[in-house]
Chain A
Amino acid sequence: MSGTRDSRSAALRLLLREIRPVTGTALIALAVLTVSVLATLAGPMLVQRFVDRATGGTTQSVLITIAVWYLVIAVTGGAARICSSYLAVHAGWRIADSLRMRLLHHVAVEAPVLEVENRPVGQVLEQVSGSADIVGQAIATSGFRMISNVLVGAGTVVAMSLVVPQAGLGILVLIVVVCFVLTRLSRRSRVRWEKARGQQAKLFGFVGDAIGARDDLLMLGRSRWAADRTRADLAALLHTEGRAYISGRIFWPVTQLCTAVFFAIGFGFGLRELQLGSITIGTLTMIYLYVNLLQGPLEDMSSQSGQMQQMFAVLAIAARTLPAETATGTPEPPAVSLPDGPLGIEFDHVTFGYGDTPVLRDVSFTVAPGRSLGIVGPTGAGKSTVINLLCGLGEPGQGRVRIGGVDVRRLPPLEFARRVTVLSQRAHVFSASVYENITLFDDSVSEDRVWQVLDRLNAADWVRDLPAGLRTRVGADARTLSEGESQVLVGARALLRPYSVLVVDEGTSRFDAETERSWTDLLELVMRDRTVVMVEHRMATLVGVDELMTMDGGRVVGAK
């Protein structure tokens, strides 16, 4: 029980943090909202006056004046409503995007790379964008309207209490009871929504995988299976999501039931007062209109609170993912910087494993500054893990990995990027231009620099032949590159940066004979004065290295 309370307060804290930047807009929206609420509440009072005057026998002009006043107030209220809704939408989507940025920043910058790589992209997207959209939608279409409904409800109770105190009191008591029941129901609904959303994310994770693998599935004759499995998963989701939906919308029938009781209370007391002659038929009409007025907001609130619950469910998940606010949090660790000049590399009795599966066992080696080391070994020997640890992507179970004498886990990412360059087989080609793929979206790099690098890679002609040269779009939604062509981009990416340490991760495996030769020449050139660690399958490209180390089964088995 305290767990849900914690998650709710965490969600609330997160929401308040997101609202802070748009406080001004939110306050103005609230002020305008109040105007529209007052206009709504004034309506029944004018009708009461109208009925009393009409039954009491008065001049037509008095009635017309009241009717005209009613119209004026109606129009003012309507204008205020639209105005406040504009401001609410504005604030809502600002908040949503700010949350989206925070979630994306967390995944892209803070979460461990290996963890992000191992999750289906569809699932991550669902959690980042899907969540933010729910929050935006809830605030823009429900949040402010819900406040307005609460105000209308409170105003109605006050107005009723003024004419028939017993009825006002009765309704107030009932509202308090109902609110208590609804909060209990809402807690249950939130838990159910969290569960449903988890299941949804899983389902879309699979769908995303199937879409990515559709050529594989098609040729294996298993496309139907993927669609059928999705159908089965959806059928299972129907139950979970249905329970969540109903527990979120149960408010509507409950409030409808309340309205019935409101009517009974309002008219029961009203009719008695009327019999006693202490109120008029006009006042009774007013009571009717007020009870009616209560019904609309209560009905709206059912769907709105459903949306709000979904929002809180999403926020609770987000709050769990996101670290607490850093502004007042732990002090930044002192900036560590690397010494100038070539850097040495040291693996000091490193052990590493996933769960209880050991991958590296007591691996030790050093590379002196400016020297180069080639690592060879059969597939699965643990070479990629050495690279991961060298890049600070994993925490060794035991031992230390140091670059330039500094523990890589303590190196700030920017300092790492400034001094270390990784050339990886796993490199991704972004859906962007060739230029952006090489500079990695850094506009400050001149085209001349890029051409120079391409020249050195013997790839300038290939790029020149592309329809828009450097500005040709490549990647998933444009021109797909062969693996060899992708490697050229990756090579250029690496060569563009100044660095002291070069890490090559099976980087040249797909070059043809000629390119492989020029690549070897190039490596020889750039390896000068730099520290290099190369992981390779083939000995050919390892000719230029100073030392060679053989790995097998997570151990160093030989060195020369």
Chain B
Amino acid sequence: MNTEQLGFGRFLRGAAVRVKGLYLSTMAVWSTIYGVPLIIGALIAAMLDHAAHPPVTAATWWLLGAAVALMVLRAVALWIGLQLTFVLIFRTSAWIKTEVLGRLLGRPTALGPARGSGEILNRLRDDSDEIGGLLEWTTDLIYRSVLLVIAVAVLATADLVMTIPLVLLAGGLVASVMLKKRVAATQAETRVRQGMISAEITDTLTGVRDLRLAGAMTGRLAGLYRRFAWRRTVQLRHQIYLDLLSDLFYNLVMVGTGVVLLTVSLSVARGDFSAGKLVLFLTYASWLGQQMYFFGKILARYQSGRVSYRRLAELAGDEPPRPASNDVRPLRELTVTDLTCAAPVGATAPRPVSFQVRPGELVVITGELGSGKSLVVRSLLGLQPGTTGSIRWNGAEVAGDRSRLGAPRVGYARQQAKFVHGSLLDNLTLGSDDVTPARVEAAMAAVRLCSGSEELPRGLDTWIDSGTAGQLSGGQRQRLSLARMLCRPADLYVVDDCDSSLDGPTARAIWATLPRQWPAAWIVVSRNEDLLAAADVVVNVTRATVDAGVLSL
């Protein structure tokens, strides 16, 4: 717990140093904004003391003028301060978002956080904003502490006896420490429930067709509505603790004023009552209360920030992703020996697999339903945890090394590939300048997706609305995924089930030309008879069940 706190503190410091100039100017401007009222208070107090003995002199009017001018100055400072604050918060949270996203995307799904996309999105959005906001508040922490000392010094100089009871205001900090713990606990719980609900909504929306056509949507939504109420209970508690915390200090201001009045009435016998001094104390007491309110809030906010930090750290993982390794030689031979996959909980792992493949050769991985064919290729590519066995690239061991077993040497088209919002061309190039129009055209032709054909009238401009590319047919998606892989040269192409939704002639046409046009080593998961016939090596994946007859699927 303690080391984690240290980690978060260090992280915040690092984030502040990153935008040092901005951070310091924000601090300077806001110091002015909160320091000016102290001077104004002193000016007003002096003015009242002048006014208490009529006639009203020019000095009184000058004091009033000075106070008003300072207020105008404060308004200008505020305008600047708000701009700085926004930029500071936004820059910080944007930086966190991209850092976490970069690291999240650098790991395969199976090795990353076991969270749905909705939940991950939620965290990226809310938690980074939370930390950005907190960092901005830390600027306040520093200058407000300084101003606090100055304010107390001014009061003590004016009247030490009357200053002492104001220490009571600090007593509120004790209560705040207890409240802030509750705030942190309820916030964590709120976020957990929020994430679960987001995941469920995402899931429901993804399956909207099935639920609607089966008339099951109403029932599903009723379940979700119950979850909303379930979240609301903890949300309510969270907000109340937050309000208690903030009101605690607001109320301390009122009580503080009461205490000032009491102290004055007790010392009135000393005969030195002045309206000016009373106003000075009242002004400063409420200013102090405001600061206490702030300190309490930042304590609570710090707790929330730590929760957010922990949640984001889970997404980011421990180590930054390794960049693709440059020292991988062109493939001469890939040897897989006793590759053993770790099965997901409760399932049986496939039997160990061994094979060898050279450029120009085709290995087809086949097997019954649920035998773990996909698991085998995913494990081969280092996308699955708990893989054992040996994978040698030209004789050198590369098992589990994603920096070598990936682009630019290896191309992969997976089962149920996903895409991004954008044109078909965007989805092929993925922002890469290396993918030339000629290459795109060759890849599209190889998978028989012809621009301007009946099935693809808008060709490369066809718009893909979402990651699932719902408006494309299953076969089109499979071929698009293949084409996306072919747009990038590689020594080894690994294809997981990209022909199951294709009609016979199309599949045949693709497989008749592909390996020859793209002279690389190919590993393809398929149950296509033509492909099996053309294979140099056929690897049959079976489950390592004791009694092979149990599973009749």
Contacts and interface: CB of A to CB of B under 8 A. Distances in A.
A447 interface: no
Contact of B210 (A215, A216, A224, A424): A424
Contacts of B475: 379-380, 537
A446 B343 CA distance: 31
Contacts of A472: 346
A424 B124 CA distance: 34
30 contacts: A47-B278, A60-B265, A68-B262, A85-B240, A93-B236, A108-B205, A108-B212, A119-B465, A121-B206, A121-B466, A140-B239, A205-B466, A214-B108, A215-B414, A218-B107, A234-B98, A249-B86, A256-B78, A376-B503, A380-B454, A391-B213, A424-B209, A428-B206, A440-B211, A441-B220, A466-B346, A479-B345, A497-B214, A537-B475, A537-B504
Main secondary structure, interface of B, reads: helix
A56 to B, nearest CB: 11
A365 interface: no
Contacts of B134: none
A483 to B, nearest CB: 7
Interface in A221-236: 221-231, 234-235
Interface stretch (B146-154, B296-304, B355-363, B417-425): B417-425
Contacts of A50: 261, 264-265
Given A78-B254, A245-B86, A428-B210, A116 B205 contact: yes
B236 A108 contact: no
A515 B105 contact: no
Interface stretch (B156-164, B195-203, B331-339, B530-538): B195-203
Nearest to B200: A431
Contacts of B119: 477
A118 B465 contact: yes
A417 interface: yes
A250 B83 CA distance: 10
Given A109-B221, A140-B239, A260-B72, A458 B553 contact: yes
Nearest to B366: A512
Given A229-B431, A253-B79, A223 B465 contact: no
Given A208-B467, A211-B104, A510-B500, A465 B279 contact: no
Contact of A113 (B64, B94, B208, B215): B208
Given A120-B466, A422-B213, A431-B199, A256 B64 contact: no
Interface in B311-335: 321, 324
A418 B412 CA distance: 43
Given A125-B202, A238-B90, A416-B213, A219 B414 contact: yes
Interface residues on chain A, size class: 35 or more
B232 A66 contact: no
Given A101-B228, A120-B465, A292-B286, A267 B64 contact: yes
A442 interface: yes
Nearest to B74: A256
Contacts of B514: none
Contact of A118 (B214, B244, B470, B501): B470
The list of the 3 closest CB pairs from A to B, nearest first, reads A380-B455, A221-B407, A417-B215
B293 to A, nearest CB: 11
Given A121-B466, A476-B199, 15 more contacts: A64-B265, A71-B258, A120-B466, A209-B419, A220-B488, A226-B420, A234-B94, A263-B64, A275-B55, A379-B479, A427-B207, A477-B114, A506-B501, A537-B502, A552-B454
Nearest to B383: A215
A27 B353 CA distance: 71
A484 interface: yes
Nearest to A429: B207
Contacts of B228: 97, 100-101
B297 to A, nearest CB: 12
Interface stretch (B9-17, B136-144, B368-376, B385-393): B368-376
Interface string B245-288: 00100110011011101101110110001010011001100100
Interface stretch (A277-285, A339-347, A397-405): A277-285
Interface residues of B, number: 174
B220 to A, nearest CB: 5
B450 to A, nearest CB: 10
Nearest to B79: A253
A274 B500 contact: no
A354 B431 CA distance: 27
B186 interface: no
Contacts of A552: 454
A379 B369 contact: no
Contacts of B219: 440-442
Nearest to A289: B282
A218 B406 contact: yes
B31 interface: no
B213 A97 contact: no
Interface in A255-305: 256-257, 259-261, 263-264, 267-268, 271-272, 274-275, 277, 281-282, 284-285, 288-289, 292
Contacts of B417: 213, 216
B310 interface: no
Identify which of B264, B345, B406, B418 gathers the most chain A CB atoms within 10 Å of its CB: B418
A210 B406 contact: no
Contact of A379 (B87, B200, B243, B503): B503
B506 interface: yes
B221 A105 contact: yes
Interface in A531-560: 537-538, 552-554
Contacts of A206: 420-421
Identify which of B207, B417, B506 gathers the most chain A CB atoms within 10 Å of its CB: B207
A272 B112 CA distance: 73
Contacts of A66: 261, 265
A227 B344 contact: no
A12 B119 CA distance: 31
B527 interface: yes
Contacts of A432: 203
Contacts of A292: 283, 286
A451 interface: no
B171 to A, nearest CB: 15
A277 B54 CA distance: 9
Contact of A216 (B286, B458, B476, B481): B481
A322 to B, nearest CB: 15
A338 interface: no
A523 interface: no
Contacts of A477: 114-116, 119, 199
B117 A212 contact: yes
A279 B417 CA distance: 81
Interface in B393-414: 402, 406-408, 410-412, 414
B67 interface: yes
Interface string A56-74: 0000100110111011001
B204 interface: yes
B18 interface: no
Interface stretch (B19-27, B44-52, B436-444, B516-524): B44-52
Given A122-B121, A227-B105, A284-B48, A413 B212 contact: yes
Nearest to B481: A216
Contacts of B199: 431, 476-477
A515 B371 CA distance: 14
Contact of B473 (A89, A271, A379): A379
A475 B476 CA distance: 24
